[in-house]
Structure formats: structure tokens, C-alpha cells
Amino acid sequence: MLADPLSRRTFLAVSSTALGAAWLAADPALVRAALDHAARAARSPLSPGSPDPVPWDVLTPDQAADLDAIAAQIFPTDDTPGAREARVVTFLDRSLGTWAAQQREPLLHGLDELNGEVERRWPGTQRFANLAPERQLELLRAQEQTPFFQQMRFATLVGMFSLPPYGGNADKAGWRVIGFEDRYAWQPPFGDYDAEAARGGR
């Protein structure tokens, strides 16, 4: 994901089946709880600097800032929205407190280890979010094969393209990236493949 931003739409198209399967496997009761959390969050400002920022369910503000920075490197903003615009970190917080609670400990442990590496390489920096973007990218490239990075990449993609009520895909930003239109009904003609039917079979 970090190497070639021009190939990301191809990658996403290939990944969509696996992502959908993971969501179908989620416990409906836990998903419902996540939706309730996200609905409450949608009524509050999401900017950390706002007068009444959304409360984090699981993450500390520092952890949220780190995960937000990681997600933004995995799915950066270019000529289309990225993880920040889609508010992937809000999705992460809601899911780690509900249907993905079993993933909370390994994810946060991996984040602690990443921040330990930050401090070893750049003493005094303390946390990933404090690094300059080019150093963030350098460190993540060295982490691409770790379970933590793989977990974060998967979670970032799910947060980008899940239903907005789950907390991510804010304003349908992720769907706009892949050209998905969430219509409930489509009117003919649909395209070249049904042109003959549209002409009455002639």
C-alpha cells in the first residue's frame, strides 16, 4: 500500500471480497452496539481542537493521534479523500470497543512497540504522531511485514469503505474514491450490456 499510490484502486477492487466477508462474520449484536456508538459520535464535533470533541471509547487521545497518523500514511490524501477525511480513527475506536474488542490488546501492544522504535531511532520524539511525515513513512516501510502493520492496513481499509454509521467512511469519502454510488434503485438503461434489451430486443 505504501509503494505505489497509483495502484491503490486496483488493490481495493481485489480486496473488496475479503473485506465484505469479514464484516459478514461479525456478531450482529456487537455491530448494533457499534452503530449506537457511532450515532452518538456523529452528533458531536470530531476535531480534537473543537470546544466539545468526541469522547474516545477505547483510545487515549495520544493513541488516537498515532493511529490516525498511521492510517493517513496507509491511505493518504491525494487528489481524492484519504483515511483522515474518512475518519478511520473513529471507526477504529468504535470497533475496538465493540465487535473487534478481541483485537484491542494486540493492536495497542503493537502500537506501544512501534512507539518504542520511534524513541530508539529518534530520542525525545516519544510518539509516532510527533514524527515528520517522511520519517513516519520510513518507519512504516520497515514495519510492513509485521502483524501490527498488517492489522492496521486491514482496519484502515475496512474503516474507509464500511457503511458510514460504523464510524468511518465519513460523508461517504471512501465510496467516492472507488466511484461507488449507494443508490437504492437504478433506472434503465444501465449500460452497453443491456442496450439490446433497451431497444426492445431488436
Q: Which residues of the chain have pLDDT under 70?
A: 1-54, 163, 165, 168-171, 173-175, 177-202
Residue 198: inside a domain: no
Residue 199: inside a domain: no
pLDDT of residue 86: 84
Closest CA to 90 of 150, 166, 157: 166
pLDDT of residue 15: 46
Residue 191: inside a domain: no
pLDDT of residue 202: 53
Residue 86: inside a domain: yes
The grid coordinates of residue 75 equal 491511505
Is the four-CA dihedral 158, 159, 162, 166 of positive or negative sign? Answer: positive
Residue 34: inside a domain: yes
pLDDT of residue 159: 86
Domain tally for the chain?
Answer: 1
Residue 161: inside a domain: yes
Residue 47: inside a domain: yes
pLDDT of residue 16: 42
What's the distance, CA 66 to chain centroid? 13
pLDDT of residue 63: 96
pLDDT of residue 54: 59
Residue 114: inside a domain: yes
CA distance 19 to 161: 9
pTM of the model: 0.66
* Amino acid letter, residue 42: A
pLDDT of residue 168: 67
CA distance 31 to 166: 8
Is residue 164 within 8 Å of residue 35, measured between CB atoms? no
| Domain of residue 144, residue span | 5-181
